[in-house]
Each structure stands twice: as C-alpha cells, then as structure tokens.
Structure 1
Amino acid sequence: MMGRQLPCSLSGVLTLVLTAAILATFLSRLPPWFTSCTPDCLDMYMKGAANLFSPAMLAFLRDKFLEPPPPDPDRSGFDIDRPSWRHLLEWHKLQQNLKDLWKDQSPGVFVEVGAVDGEFMSQTLMLEKNLSWTGLLIEPDPRSYSVLQQRRRNAWTSPVCIRLGPTSARKLWMRDLRADLPQEMQGLVMARSKLDDETITGDMLQGRTTFVPCVRLSQLLLRANMTRADLLTIATGTPKDHLKIRDVTSDRQTFDVKTLLVQYPRSHLLQEPYPEIPGYILDMDRSVLLVRLFWRKADCRLLQEDTCRRTKPYDLMEACKKYLCNDFATVWTYK
C-alpha cells in the first residue's frame, strides 16, 4: 500500500511546487498595487527599464498617483485676514500681492509642490476660492494628504515627492505630532516633513519615516496634461527648491510656466545669495524676504505698463534698507 501511495504523494508535491512557481512568476509581472508589495519591490518596479516618459510609466502615474478634483468641491470663499498664521513668512502680504496682480485677469492654473493640508500657509487657496483658479496640489506626507483630500479643493491632487533623480520609492521623515497642539500648530509640524536624506540628524529621533513615491515634476505634469501653468509654487523646507523643478523651468518648448513662487529657508539665505533661475526674472515689488516671485522673461512686460527693458541691480544700501536683505541678496528693478 505504501509503495503505491508514494508516487501519488510526490506527484501532488510537484504539482503544488509548479503551481506556486507559475503564480510567483505571474505576480512578479504585476504592477505593485495588485500585490502586497514591499517598498523595496515598489522601488525596483519604478526604477525598471521603462523610459521615464514611456506610456506605461505615465499610465502608472495617472492610475496610482493622480486624483481628479472631487465632484462636489468646496466653493466657499477664503478670507486671507482670518488665519491665525497669516503673519508667518509675510504670508498675508504675499497673498495680497497675488490677489492684486490677478484680480482682473481670467482664472488661471496653479501647481503647488508642498501643499501640506491644502489650507495651512497655502499659496494657492485664495486663488482657487476667490479667483476661480484650479490646478494640481502635490503633498507626500500621508497625514497632510489625508486632510487635503477632506478639504475638497477644486484641483487635482498627488501624494508624491518631487525630485530630479530616478523615479523611486524614498523614505520621508515626519515629525511626531502632539495631541495638545492647536490645529494651526499641527499644520506647522506636518509642514516640516521631508526626505530623510534632507533631514537634520538630531531631528530623526523626533519623528518616524515612511516610504513615498518620488517622481520628476515633468512626468507628473505630462500625465495630468498640465503643460501650461500661470503659477508654479514650491515650498519643501529645504534649500535649492528651484533645482527640484528645473526639468520643467528649463524645458520651455514643452512647458509654459508664467510665474514661479519659491520659498527659501532663512539659514540657507544667510550663507548664499538668492539664486538666478535661467529664463526668469525676480519680481522684487511682489516678493517678500523668504518667498520670491519670479516672472518668465517672455512675460516680463506684464510687470509694468511699458515694455520691459534691461535690468540693473539696486544699490546695495538702498536694497537692504527697503527689503531688509542683510547683505546676502541681489535684487532687481527696471529702467
């Protein structure tokens, strides 16, 4: 009896092994969202041989990392005098400048990199609520992104980080929250999230990390069919944010971006001057100390009534007196 059962047992084992092998091969070819894929697996998939701008990769971004505006967006107005944090980084002053600039213009399109929860220190909320703009909000911190979705902003959203490197899964550091903090302070804490390799060593003990997908901004905009934007704003809390969007600002044949709003950390500016962004001109009259507005040179005539002419630097003493640039800024005006 035992001699006759052994071949049957071996046959069953071989069948199970072969079935498992076929199943494993099949699952290995599926995109990560069909499986319980680990961050390492996701990283390998996103770094695959496919071209960064191939139809397959763009479809991956569309299906997994782009959410359309909700069917019932919140269309209530927004009072820029209301937020308790309105004086942080001269936010209120900058919002008033943007409002005055575009109040008589047709509704525009924005892209906000580092949108946090969609309200706290948002550079685009007033434009959407009061001037009927729409666009794309990008925020990798899953805590902030969850609140952002609940706000029902009339814009596309994406839970990714923006970087120029290969498309990959990266560790995002998130500072721990405290239950006793008011809502606006919770927003400030969540706004400090950043990639772990951009985090100060001492901060690592005060938070935790999670894996997030990181893509090029150009990839995301192509997939969202947003090659034109009236305002591209970025605030990730790290130096040289203007370099993270260089693939868009330097490709003027593909992307038509009229203005840039870039936030610079104070510690960075004390050591280095404001950077030059090729193809763009710094608008000193509408900028504030740590958040700078840049105009594409092709549109610089819109800065004033007459045609834009050759720029000249301010006298340093005049600049520091008027803009408190503290000897580390080069500022510009127009003849």
Structure 2
Amino acid sequence: MATLLTHYLTHYFPSITLQDTCNSDCIDTFFAGVHNLASPALLPTLRAHFLYPPTPIPAPTEHFDVGRPVWRELLNWDEMQTILKDMWEGQPPGVFVEVGASDGEFMSQTVMLEKNLGWTGLLVEPDPRAFTILQQKRPRAWKSPVCIHRRAPCSVRTLWVHDLIPDLPDDLQALVRARSKLLHETVVGDLKQGRTLRVPCVPLSRLLLAADLTRVDLLSIATGTVADQLKIRDVTSSNTFFVKTVLIQYPRAYLLDHPYPFVPGYLLDMERSLLLTKLYWRKTECELVGEGECRRARHYDLVESCRKFRCLGKFTVWTFALPEDGVGEGNSTLGSKPVAQ
C-alpha cells in the first residue's frame, strides 16, 4: 500500500481535480509509525511526500502588477501590498510562509514579495484544484498540499470545497476556490454548494522543520476561520522559530468580539494594520521609544495608539502594547468601540 501511495502522490496528486482517490486509509499508511510529533519518521515523511521544492529557474523578469486583478480591492488587499512593499523594498530578499495560499495569486499576501522583491518561502494549500495552479504560478517557493492544525499526531481530515461556477471568469473563479475550508469550519448553509474530500493535516511547526525553515520574515495566514491565530501558535510561541512579522486575516465576526486581537510575544501594529488584516511585530525585535504620546491610528477601527516602538531597528510601530496575559491596560475603553475618523 505504501508503495502505491508513493506513486500516487509523486505522479498524480498535483494534477487531480476532486477525485478522492487517496482515502483516509491510504494517507494514514504514510503516517504509520508516526505516533507523536517527536517521531523520527515524521520529518522525512513530510519532506519526501508532502513538500514540493522550488523549481530552479532564473530570477523573475516580470513584476506582478498589484493593480491588475479585478479583486484587488477586496479586504484592502492592494493597500496591504503597498504597505509590504514600503516595508521590505531595498532590503535583501526575505523568507515568507503563507498558510491558505489558494492558487498562489488570488489574495496572496506574498506573491508581490516573491515576484517583485525576490523572496522565497513556503506556500500551504490543501485544495487540490488551487494547488495545481499554485505549482505553476509560484515556482520559486516550497509548496505543500496539506491543511494546518496543532494537534498531534498528523491526521486526515475532511475538506469542503465549493463547486466551481460555470462561465465565471478565471479571476472570479479563484474567489470560489478560495472558500475551501475544513468541514467543521464550514457554514452549514454552504454544504450543498460543494463536496468533500480527505486531506492530510499536520502542525505548521513540523512542516517548517521538514522544509528547514526556522527563520521567517513574514508569516501570513488566511483560512477564513476564527482559529487562525491558534493554528500557528506552535510556531510563534516556540524558541525553535524566529518569525519577524505575522499577518493574520480575521473574520469580521471574530473582530466584533475581539477588536484588537492579541498574539503572545508580538506587538499589534496599528499604523499598518487594516480593517480585517492585522500586522504584528516580534516583541524581542522592538524597543520602546515613546509612551503616553497618543495619536490617531490610520484606520477607523483602531483605537488611539499610545506607545511607540522602533522594530527591527528601522520601522516605527504604534500600538497600545498588550501585556502577555492578553488583557490591555484600560481594556474597557480600548476595546469598547471603534474610533471614528
């Protein structure tokens, strides 16, 4: 069985549509003997069968035009690309990790970094339809067709994928593919509009170790669920990994109850965060340079920022600096309601 599965994943997985050819039994065969995250068989298994290395190609000659996609204004995506460009342009190429990479272009927070600034890294996308396109569009990065979770050991879960809509333009068809979610995270009313298949799920920390990525400049996650900040906690809270910045796209419903979400060990950058997409800086790379000098942040849903940090020795970051317990000082006023422009 293991031999047949190896042949399947090596030769057929990148091009499958939605045939659930490899069911849970045969994927579980891959994890035979992997009883916990410390198993010596885990990393070689992930490296050999669930990681696709970058394709050796010359440096890109055409830049990605962030003003081209018809969906560019969704969730202020184009505005975030401008922010990332301003942050990293003129510096040596960095390393990214993107969980929920879709087809590699649609709403990707790293496509501009790879194609315009020469970055590389790891792209994670469990939907086989999107993953097939991803392999063609993002040759310079590592790629993995798995879902991410924090529980041990590695497992098989059910992924729900939305049916494609006939005659819809490709740019908008990407929006349909991007709605894929694990079954337990899917809205009940959506179930009849799609179908399910089984996919392997692994902790992000083990996937990064298998790809030999322990230092990351930007970790981005956008799977459309309220648990995204928890899915990456095994990386952001571990001394094994050094992640400079974290970008999380939160569902609107989550932000209604948690308007200023807290990531342990990181500062929320109010100046560069957008309505639903929040940018965080690693605390150990930041130095407090001003306190009590409140100023209005750029976006209406962010409170006045009362602490000024210099992060990575260059970037000015305004925040209200949540302590490690996640409860802000004066939280009853900081998190009570948006500040109008």
Name the residue aligned to 2:55.
Answer: 70
Name the larger-Rg structure: 1
Paired residues for 1:1-335 under 5 Å: 32-33=5-6, 38-43=23-28, 46=31, 48=33, 50-72=35-57, 75=60, 76-166=62-152, 167-251=154-238, 253-301=239-287, 308-309=288-289, 322-325=298-301, 332-335=305-308
Determine which structure has the larger helix proportion and give its number. Answer: 1
Shift of 1:274: 2.8
Letter paired with 2:179: R
Shift of 1:84: 1.4
CA 269–155 in structure 1, closer or farther in 2 if over 3 Å, else same: same
Shift of 1:48: 4.6
Check conservation: 2:294, 2:307, Cα contact below 8 A.
Answer: no
Shift of 1:40: 3.0
Check conservation: 1:162, 1:215, Cα contact below 8 A.
Answer: yes
CA 79–314 in structure 1, closer or farther in 2 if over 3 Å, else same: same
Q: Report the TM-score when normalising by structure 1.
A: 0.81
Check conservation: 1:160, 1:215, Cα contact below 8 A.
Answer: yes
Check conservation: 1:103, 1:131, Cα contact below 8 A.
Answer: yes
Distance 1:92 1:215 in 2: 31
Distance 2:109 2:4 in 1: 35
1:234-258 deviation digits (Å, cap 9, x = unpaired):
000111311100000000x200000
Check conservation: 2:94, 2:216, Cα contact below 8 A.
Answer: yes
Shift of 1:137: 0.6
SS of residue paired to 1:189: helix
SS of residue paired to 1:165: coil
Distance 2:188 2:117 in 1: 42
Determine which structure has the larger strand proportion and give its number. Answer: 2
Check conservation: 1:116, 1:145, Cα contact below 8 A.
Answer: yes
Letter paired with 1:323: H
Distance 1:212 1:312 in 2: 49
Check conservation: 2:106, 2:175, Cα contact below 8 A.
Answer: yes
Check conservation: 1:74, 1:151, Cα contact below 8 A.
Answer: no
Q: Report the TM-score when normalising by structure 2.
A: 0.80
Check conservation: 2:85, 2:113, Cα contact below 8 A.
Answer: yes
